[in-house]
Amino acid sequence: MKKILVPVDGSTQSVLAARWALQRAQEAGATVTLLHVYDMPAEDAMGLANLPREEVVALKQSHGEPSFAPVREFIADDAAITDNLVVIGQPAEEIVSVARHKGYDHIVMGSRGRSLVRELLLGSVSEEVLHHAPCAVTIIR
């Protein structure tokens, strides 16, 4: 285990997952990347094509920051965290895609995020990731 991907959404479960991943990373000498997927409404996403790249980057960072902040509260300057990524899209699809295309060998995520109603109606993000990930997946409860 060398590269761990931790999707975060600001929920208690994602903070617990990040904490667990950081402990494992320290033990294994691995790195951790925090990932926030901004599940932007389709009509808003279409408008991004007309924005300058700098504005899109700033928008993504502003939506990701509230998800990264709770993790930073307990990590200080943990050397295991190498990056914070923010992508726009459907959470399960984007988590799997990032893991596949950037060569992560482990995904650690919470069992339930902020969107409980959506999970009940559409299926769990963690369940989707578990079934489609190209690497090991650990679900923290």
Task: Return the pLDDT at 43.
Answer: 65
Tokens of 101: 């295309």
CA–CA separation, 136 and 65 (whole Å): 26
Contacts of 90 (CB under 8 A, 6+ apart): 37, 39
For the question of whether the overall pTM of this predicted structure is more than 0.75, the answer is yes
The structural domains of the chain, ordered by start, are 3-140 (3.40.50.620)
What proportion of the chain, given as a percentage, has pLDDT over 70? 85
68-77 average pLDDT score: 78
The average pLDDT across 72-81 equals 70
pLDDT at 16: 92
Is residue 116 over pLDDT 60?
no
Lowest mean pLDDT among 67-76, 81-90, 115-124: 115-124
- Predicted confidence at residue 122, as pLDDT, reads 43
Percent of the chain with pLDDT over 90: 52
Q: How far apart are CA 141 and CA 77, in angstroms?
A: 25
- What's the first-to-final CA gap in the chain, in angstroms? 21
- Tens of pLDDT, residue by residue over 4-27, are 999 999 988 899 999 999 999 989
Per DSSP, the residues of 53-122 read HHHHHHHHHHHHHHHHHHHHHHHSS-TTEEEEEEEES-HHHHHHHHHHHTT-SEEEEES--S-HHHHHHH
Amino acid of residue 121: L
